[in-house]
Chain A
Amino acid sequence: MDQQLGLLQGTLDMLILKAISLGPLHGYGVLLRIQQISKDRLEIQQGSLYPALYRLEHQGWIASEWGESENKRKAKYYRLTAAGKRRLQTETQKWNRMSDVIAGILGAAPEEV
Chain B
Amino acid sequence: MSRVWSCLRLWLAATFRRSRLERDMDAELRFHMDTYAEELVRSGVSRSEALRRARIEFGGFEGAKEECRQARGVTFFETLAQDFRFGARTLRKNPGFAIIAVLTLALGIGSTAAVFSVVNAVLLKPLPYPHADRIVMPWWAWPVTDLGDDFPWGQRDFLAFLRQEAAFQSVGAFKPDSFNLTGFGDPIRLDGIKASAGFFPALGVPPLIGRTYTQEEEEPGHELEVVLSHSLWLERFGGDPAVLGRSINLNGLPYNVIGVMPPGFVFPRGEEMPIVLGFPRQAQLWIPNPTPINPAGPQDLAVVGRLKDSVTFEQAFAELTVFGKDREREYPQAAGYYTPRLATLGRQVVGDSRRALLLLLGAVGIVLLIACSNVANLLLARSLLRGKEFTLRSALGAGRGRLLRQLLVENLILSMVGGLIGTLIAWAGVYFAKIFGPSNLPRLHEVTLDLRVFTFALGVACLTGILFGLPPAFAATREGLVEALKERGQSATPSSRLRSILLVSQVALALVLVVAAGLLVRTFYSLLRSEAGFNPSRVFTFQLTLPAGKYPDTDAMARVYHSVLQRLQTAPGVQQVGFSSAVPLGGPPDNTGIRIPDRPVTSVKNTPPTANYLFAAPGYFAAVGTPLLRGREFTESDTLEAQHVTIITSTMAQRYWPGKDALGKQVGVGLTRFPLRTIVGIVADTKHTSLSEKSIPEMYVPYTQNEIHVWPNMQTMQVALRTAMDSSSVLGAVRDALRSVDPDLPIARPATLATLVDESVVQPRFSMLLLAGFGVIALLLASIGMYGVISYSVARRTREIGIRMALGAAPREVLRMVLGQGARLVSVGLAIGLVASFLVARLMTSFLYGVRATDPTTYAAVCALLTFVVLLACYLPARRATRVDPTVALREE
Which residues of A does B touch, CB under 8 Å?
26-28, 31, 45-48, 50-52, 54-55, 57-58, 69, 71, 73-76
Residue among B25, B32, B36 with the most chain A CB within 10 A? Answer: B32
The reply on B44 being an interface residue by CB < 8 A is no
11 A-B residue pairs with Cβ-Cβ distance under 8 Å, sorted by A, are: A27-B28, A28-B35, A28-B36, A31-B32, A47-B59, A50-B25, A50-B32, A50-B64, A54-B71, A58-B73, A76-B27
Cβ–Cβ contact B31 & A46, under 8 A: no
The reply on B868 being an interface residue by CB < 8 A is no
CA distance A47 to B62 in the complex (A): 10
Residues of A within 8 A of B34 (CB): 73
The reply on B659 being an interface residue by CB < 8 A is no
Instruction: Give chain A nearest CB distance to B396 CB in angstroms.
Output: 21
CA distance A40 to B64 in the complex (A): 23
Cβ–Cβ contact B71 & A51, under 8 A: yes
Instruction: Give chain B nearest CB distance to A29 CB in angstroms.
Output: 9
Cβ–Cβ contact B61 & A47, under 8 A: yes
Cβ–Cβ contact A74 & B57, under 8 A: no
The reply on B29 being an interface residue by CB < 8 A is yes
Given A28-B36, A74-B27, A76-B28: A47 touches B72 (CB 8 Å cut-off): no
Residues of B within 8 A of A74 (CB): 27, 31
Q: Which residue of B lies closest to A70 (CB)?
A: B35
Residues of B within 8 A of A31 (CB): 32
Residues of B within 8 A of A54 (CB): 25, 68-69, 71-72
Instruction: Give chain B nearest CB distance to A60 CB in angstroms.
Output: 11
The reply on B63 being an interface residue by CB < 8 A is yes
Given A47-B59, A47-B63: A75 touches B72 (CB 8 Å cut-off): no
Q: Which residue of B lies closest to A76 (CB)?
A: B28
Residues of A within 8 A of B63 (CB): 47
Q: Which residue of B lies closest to A52 (CB)?
A: B71
CA distance A52 to B57 in the complex (A): 17
Given A45-B59, A46-B59: A51 touches B70 (CB 8 Å cut-off): yes
CA distance A76 to B28 in the complex (A): 6
CA distance A26 to B34 in the complex (A): 13
Given A28-B36, A57-B72: A47 touches B60 (CB 8 Å cut-off): yes
Instruction: Give chain A nearest CB distance to B27 CB in angstroms.
Output: 7
Which 8 A-B residue pairings sit nearest by Cβ, starting from the closest? A47-B59, A51-B67, A55-B71, A54-B71, A47-B64, A51-B71, A46-B58, A54-B68
Residues of A within 8 A of B68 (CB): 50-51, 54
Contact with A along B3-25 (1 / 0, CB 8 A): 00000000000000000000011
Instruction: Give chain B nearest CB distance to A48 CB in angstroms.
Output: 7
Residue among B31, B70, B72, B73 with the most chain A CB within 10 A? Answer: B31
Near A by CB (< 8 A), chain B positions 82-120 give none
Cβ–Cβ contact A46 & B72, under 8 A: no
Q: Which residue of B lies closest to A49 (CB)?
A: B32
Q: Which residue of A lies closest to B54 (CB)?
A: A46
Cβ–Cβ contact A46 & B36, under 8 A: yes
Instruction: Give chain A nearest CB distance to B534 CB in angstroms.
Output: 86
Instruction: Give chain B nearest CB distance to A79 CB in angstroms.
Output: 15
The reply on B38 being an interface residue by CB < 8 A is yes
Cβ–Cβ contact B72 & A58, under 8 A: yes
Given contact pairs A26-B32, A45-B59, A71-B38, a sample of 4 additional A-B residue pairs in the complex whose CB atoms are under 8 Å apart: A28-B36, A51-B68, A74-B31, A76-B28
CA distance A26 to B63 in the complex (A): 20
Residues of B within 8 A of A57 (CB): 72
Residues of A within 8 A of B72 (CB): 54-55, 57-58
Q: Which residue of B lies closest to A29 (CB)?
A: B35
Instruction: Give chain A nearest CB distance to B761 CB in angstroms.
Output: 71
Chain B: residues with Cβ within 8 Å of the partner, total of 25
Q: Which residue of A lies closest to B73 (CB)?
A: A58
Q: Which residue of A lies closest to B21 (CB)?
A: A54
Near A by CB (< 8 A), chain B positions 675-717 give none
Cβ–Cβ contact A28 & B71, under 8 A: no
CA distance A74 to B29 in the complex (A): 12
Q: Which residue of A lies closest to B59 (CB)?
A: A47
CA distance A75 to B30 in the complex (A): 10
Residues of B within 8 A of A48 (CB): 59, 64, 67
CA distance A45 to B63 in the complex (A): 13
Residues of A within 8 A of B73 (CB): 58
Given A46-B59, A76-B24: A27 touches B32 (CB 8 Å cut-off): yes
CA distance A48 to B57 in the complex (A): 11
CA distance A71 to B37 in the complex (A): 13
CA distance A45 to B57 in the complex (A): 7
Instruction: Give chain B nearest CB distance to A89 CB in angstroms.
Output: 23
Cβ–Cβ contact A58 & B71, under 8 A: yes
Cβ–Cβ contact B71 & A73, under 8 A: no
Given A45-B59, A57-B72: A50 touches B29 (CB 8 Å cut-off): yes
Residues of A within 8 A of B27 (CB): 74, 76
Q: Which residue of B lies closest to A57 (CB)?
A: B72
Find A71's partner among B24, B32, B35, B60 (CB 8 Å cutoff).
Answer: B35
CA distance A27 to B32 in the complex (A): 7
Residues of A within 8 A of B61 (CB): 47
Instruction: Give chain A nearest CB distance to B61 CB in angstroms.
Output: 7
Cβ–Cβ contact A69 & B31, under 8 A: yes
Cβ–Cβ contact A28 & B64, under 8 A: no
CA distance A76 to B73 in the complex (A): 19
Residues of A within 8 A of B69 (CB): 54
Residue among A45, A47, A51 with the most chain B CB within 10 A? Answer: A47
Residues of A within 8 A of B29 (CB): 27, 50
Instruction: Give chain A nearest CB distance to B14 CB in angstroms.
Output: 15
CA distance A50 to B61 in the complex (A): 11
CA distance A73 to B34 in the complex (A): 10
Residues of A within 8 A of B67 (CB): 48, 50-51
Cβ–Cβ contact B31 & A26, under 8 A: yes
Residues of B within 8 A of A69 (CB): 31, 35
CA distance A26 to B32 in the complex (A): 9
CA distance A58 to B67 in the complex (A): 13
Instruction: Give chain A nearest CB distance to B68 CB in angstroms.
Output: 5
Find B31's partner among A28, A52, A55 (CB 8 Å cutoff).
Answer: A28
Cβ–Cβ contact A73 & B59, under 8 A: no
CA distance A89 to B708 in the complex (A): 111
Residues of A within 8 A of B64 (CB): 47-48, 50-51
CA distance A34 to B164 in the complex (A): 98
Instruction: Give chain A nearest CB distance to B766 CB in angstroms.
Output: 62
Instruction: Give chain A nearest CB distance to B487 CB in angstroms.
Output: 44
Instruction: Give chain A nearest CB distance to B165 CB in angstroms.
Output: 72
Instruction: Give chain A nearest CB distance to B832 CB in angstroms.
Output: 55
Q: Which residue of A lies closest to B30 (CB)?
A: A73
Residues of B within 8 A of A28 (CB): 31-32, 35-36
Near A by CB (< 8 A), chain B positions 195-243 give none
CA distance A28 to B834 in the complex (A): 78
Given A74-B27, A76-B24: A46 touches B32 (CB 8 Å cut-off): yes
Contact with A along B162-192 (1 / 0, CB 8 A): 0000000000000000000000000000000
Residues of A within 8 A of B57 (CB): 46
Residues of A within 8 A of B60 (CB): 47
Instruction: Give chain A nearest CB distance to B799 CB in angstroms.
Output: 51
CA distance A52 to B71 in the complex (A): 7
Residue among B25, B61, B63, B72 with the most chain A CB within 10 A? Answer: B72
Instruction: Give chain B nearest CB distance to A46 CB in angstroms.
Output: 4
CA distance A18 to B72 in the complex (A): 20
Instruction: Give chain A nearest CB distance to B772 CB in angstroms.
Output: 61
Instruction: Give chain B nearest CB distance to A30 CB in angstroms.
Output: 10
CA distance A27 to B38 in the complex (A): 16
CA distance A96 to B670 in the complex (A): 115
Residue among A51, A69, A76 with the most chain B CB within 10 A? Answer: A51
CA distance A75 to B70 in the complex (A): 22
Residues of A within 8 A of B35 (CB): 28, 69, 71, 73
CA distance A55 to B28 in the complex (A): 15
Instruction: Give chain A nearest CB distance to B672 CB in angstroms.
Output: 100
CA distance A27 to B25 in the complex (A): 11
Q: Which residue of B lies closest to A30 (CB)?
A: B32
CA distance A76 to B60 in the complex (A): 21
